[in-house]
Amino acid sequence: MEDMMKDRVEQLVDYIMKNCLWQFHSRAWDREKQNEGILTKTMQILCEEPVEKETPTDKCYWVDAVCLADAFKSRYAWMATLDKGEIKLLMQGLKDRIDYLTIKGSLNAELTDPHY
Amino acid sequence: MPYHKFKCSECIPEREKHAVIKGPGEDITSALPLGYLNTIPGSISERGCAYCGAKHVIGTPMKDVIHMSHGPVGCTYDTWQTKRYISDNDNFQLKYTYATDMKEKHIIFGAEKLLKQNIIEAFKAFPKIKRMTLYQTCASALIGDDINAIASEVMEEMPDVDIFVCNSPGFGGPSQSGGHHKINIAWINQKVGNVEPKITSDYVINYVGEYNIQGDQEVMVDYFKRMGIQVLSTFTGNGSYDDLRSMHRAHLNVLECARSAEYICNELKVRYGTPRLDIDGFGFEALSNSLRKVGLFFGIEDRAQAIIDEETARWKPEMDWYKERLQGKKVCLWPGGSKLWHWAHAIREDMGVNVVSVYTKFGHQGDMEKGIARCEEGALAIDDPNELEALEAMEMLKPDIIFTGKRPGEVAKKIRVPYLNAHAYHNGPYKGYEGWVRFARDIYNAIYSPIHQLSFVDISKDEIPTDTSFLTQKMISDVNLSEEVTASKELREYTGNYDTITALRNKTYPDFPAEKRLSAV
């Protein structure tokens, strides 16, 4: 079960790494906001929950989240077999992994530079 | 993903951490090349300087401006003419280059008088042009010439002109990238907010990080106009000086080339609250996603979808003709700039071409993260390679083609690797759906050129074959394809025109009613 979850998270990670750009903003604080904003909204869309999109920044997160959710649903047939609880678990696993790859485990020395 | 040690650089051990190979199951947390550091003494570099990054990459694509370098005339040459950032005002910015022509005596006695005289002379020589960018160079920065003061003096004496001062001398950073940063910040500090634009749509964007190589910008702006979006400014390809002073009035910054232009987007976000959306302009799926995202932001995704459907139906059969023939070919993707990541995955998806190596001459580690993340296993990633490393990499990887700039491209040809110009293109534009097919056509033409086959004959020792007739490209490319593919009535070669840009300039667009503005009246 754990292996299947890990494999599914890796499939989603592979899609994000190959097709998205939002996860690679140039500073750690920026990446934290991007990952949190977009992946939370993607989870909400997949769970058919309401999504905040009133501010321009939220709207940008939502736009990326809509495209991501659509890509996940069309590429990974197993996504349709999951219930809300399972989707939330999967998306938390995905967020943890993306945070690790782009922030916590990143070797990019510029991430903590206080200046642009 | 261990670091890769080049044999030719064994005598420069510091180079070891500037190259990695993406191993099985490895990711960007296993190893990442160093980047955006001073070039290691003893190692030759192909980089440009901070002045080059400010003037030639960011500044000069601005079209209605006299671009004056305060320094020796040689500074103006660097990369001039190798970037075909065209414009719709008769390529004014490409036709002329200006320098104050500093000499030894000016270094000794100062060159401020010379600068003022040159600025006035240039404005008088081109009376219709009222805007100027003044670039500092190493020579004038080192002697302390106050170019800001001279610009102010001239603007006082000539009230109809406006001058932007860019203090980014060559030594101002480790590479071009330092200059990108300086000119972005200088522009927002000095000029943004100085002009109030006429708003003609409910949907207004700045298109940032686009340099109009062979018309790329005009292709993308066509899509935006078809969606009823007003493109307030393009930073900076085919962009106008005064439009770029009004960037603060856009509702959204659409950012394409991140590292050269993200600074201005981030500052616009902090100072004016304008949000930033990152897009890809290359590749069928990536471009479709980009248009859809911009459409979604404004609530006009149906207009985006109509363009995606129309363009895909028109151009996909042509792309697939090339994909069948390019499947499995290997490329060294050494373009510099954002194409490192924009092309890495899209050429594999749309054309079946495998990326075996990526490089960047002046990129940051973040640029490399994007490039490596989009490559498959086995790809070699190199930061700031010298010529010998480049040759060694190509001998090891044996690519079928290399996408790179003019100088490394010519080196590649010497070892019989066909090259496509990834900076200024061969027969672009490459952006847009049609542009992507043109790119595939250029790749096909390069790989299957019969002349390229002949280049493998060493006339100093090989017998010249006389029993084979001349082979056409198709005879070479189609030999292993199934009849189903070669006889397909659906797939076809590129059928577009040689010039795709002129028609766009004369095009008319649908008039979308401006709902919000009308209801507010």
Share of chain B above pLDDT 90, in %: 85
Mean pLDDT of B41-46: 85
CA B237 to chain A, closest CA, distance in angstroms equals: 22
pLDDT of residue A115: 78
Cα distance between residue B450 and residue A29, in whole Å: 53
Closest partner residue to A67 (CB to CB) among B273, B292, B365 is: B292
Span B240-265, mean pLDDT?
96
Model confidence at B43, in pLDDT bands (50, 70, 90)?
confident
Contact in structure between B20 and B31 (CB atoms under 8 Å): yes
pTM over 0.90: yes
3-state secondary structure of A88: helix
* pLDDT tens sequence across B347-401: 999 999 999 999 999 999 999 999 999 999 999 999 999 999 999 999 999 999 9
CA distance A18 to chain B (A): 4
| Kind plus residue range of the DSSP H or E element containing B421 | strand B419-421
B181–A24 C-beta distance less than 8 A: no
Q: Which residues of B touch A106 (CB under 8 A)?
A: 28-29, 32, 369
d(CA B418, CA B447): 6
Residue B521 — pLDDT band, cuts 50, 70, 90?
A: very low
| Angle (deg, nearest 10), helices B284-298 and A56-75 | 140
Query: Across the interface, do B345 and A63 touch by the CB < 8 Å criterion?
Result: no
Per-residue H/E/C for B286-355: HHHHHHHHHHHHHCCHHHHHHHHHHHHHHHHHHHHHHHHHHCCCEEEECCCCCHHHHHHCHHHHHHCCEE
ipTM above 0.95, yes or no: yes
Is 60 exceeded by the pLDDT of residue B79? no
Mean pLDDT, all residues of chain B: 94
Closest by CA to B227, choosing from B3, B506, B510, is: B510
Contact A110 B31 (CB under 8 A): no
Euclidean distance between CA atoms B320 and B315, whole angstroms: 9
Q: Kindly state the tokens that stand for A21.
A: 């750009």
Q: Residue B369 and residue A24: Cβ atoms within 8 Å?
A: yes
Name the residue facing B297 among A63, A109, A116 (closest C-beta): A63
pLDDT at B463: 82
- Tell me the Cα Rg of chain B: 24
Q: Which amino acid is at B92?
A: F
User: What is the spatial order of strands in the sheet that B98-99 belongs to?
Assistant: B98-99, B66-70, B131-136, B162-166
| Of B29, B275, B289, Cβ closest to residue A60 | B275
Strand partners, A59: none
Closest approach of B304 to chain A, Cα-based (Å): 13
CB spacing of B285 vs A100 below 8 angstroms: no
Which residues of chain B lie closer than 8 angstroms to A21, CB-CB? Answer: 258, 278-280, 341, 370
- Alpha carbon of A48: minimum distance to chain B alpha carbons (Å): 18
Q: Across the interface, do B274 and A56 touch by the CB < 8 Å criterion?
A: yes
Task: List chain A residues with CB under 8 Å of B341.
Answer: 21
* A-B C-beta contacts closer than 8 Å: 83
A32-81 confidence digits (pLDDT tens) = 999 999 999 999 999 999 999 999 999 999 999 999 999 999 999 999 99
